[in-house]
Amino acid sequence: MSTGPAYKRILLKLSGEILAGPEKSGISAKVINTIAQEIKSVTSLGVELGVVIGGGNIFRGVQAGAQGMDRTSGDYMGMLATAMNALALQDILEQNGVPSRVMTAIEMREIAEPYIKRRATRHLEKGRVVIFACGTGNPYFTTDTAASLRAMEVHAEILLKGTKVNGIFDKDPEQFDDAKPFEQLSFMEVLNKELKVMDAAAISLCMDNDLPLKVFDIGIEGNLKRIVLGEKVGTTVSKNGG
C-alpha cells in the first residue's frame, strides 16, 4: 500500500472567518500560524497547492448590500479584504520557509501579481503556494465560485474547503447536538437538500466539470495532511456521491 500523496495538485478554499478565530473579526495570529503549518506539512510532501481566501473577517459585500450600500461597491470592498488576508497568509508562509505568491484578479502590481493562468501554473510547478485573491474580480460572485473556477483553471485534482466543522451535516452542528454528518454526497444531493456548504454556482461548476469537493475541519491538526495522504476525513462530494 502506497504511503505517498493521493493528489499531486490541490486547491484549498479558506473563508475569511476562519482567520479571525474566536475574535470573529480581524486576523488571529494563532490561527494563521496554524494554517501555515498545515500547508507546510502538505507542500513538504511535494504536493502543489493553491489557496483561495475569503474576506469575511474584514468586510462582507453581501451584508453591506443588505444594509443599503450598493452591492457592486460592497463586493469590490470585499475583494480588497481578501487581498489583505492573502498578503497576511503569504507573510506567515514565507516566515515558515514556504515560498508563496499572491495573485489577484484586480490589478495591484505594487503588492501582488496579476492573475494569469499560465504563470499561476508555473508557480505551482516550481513548488510555490499560490494564493488567489480578489475572487473572480467580478461583483455578485463569491469566493466559493472563485475557488471552483481557479481549481479547474489550474487543473487541481480536488477542491478542499477548510471550515470550522469536520464535514457537511444535515443541520448546523453548532446549533443542534443531534446534527448528523455525511461521509459522502453527490452534487445534486447538496443542491436538493440546500446544504449551504458552498453557493449553488460553485457547486454547479464542480458538478459540470466533475471536480470532487472535500469539506473538512481545517482547525484539527494534521487534517489537511490526512486528506492528501488519502485518509477518510470530513465529507466528500462527487458527481455520483460514491
Q: Could you read off the pLDDT of 124-152 as tens digits, one per residue?
A: 999 999 999 999 999 999 999 999 999 99
Task: Give the pLDDT band (50/70/90) at residue 66.
Answer: low
Residues in contact with 2: Cβ distance below 8 Å, sequence separation at least 6, in sequence order: none
188-203 pLDDT per residue, tens: 999 998 888 899 999 9
- pTM metric for this prediction: 0.93
4 part of a folded domain: no
Give me the pLDDT at residue 1, please. Answer: 44
1 part of a folded domain: no
Going by the DSSP 8-state scheme, the letter that residue 15 receives in this structure is -
Give me the pLDDT at residue 2, please. Answer: 54
- CATH number for the domain that contains residue 53: 3.40.1160.10
Q: Which range is least confidently modeled, 56-65, 122-131, 153-162? A: 56-65
Number of compact structural domains in the chain:
1
87-121 pLDDT per residue, tens: 999 999 999 999 999 999 999 999 999 999 999 99
Task: Give the pLDDT band (50/70/90) at residue 65.
Answer: low
Instruction: Write the single-letter amino acid at 154.
Output: V
Q: What's the half-sphere exposure (Cβ side, CA atoms, 13 Å) at 231?
A: 10
2 part of a folded domain: no
Identify whether the C-beta of residue 207 lies closer than 8 Å to the C-beta of residue 148. Answer: no
Distance separating alpha carbons of residues 227 and 225, to the nearest angstrom: 5
163 part of a folded domain: yes
**Which structural domain, as residue segments, surrounds residue 114?**
9-238
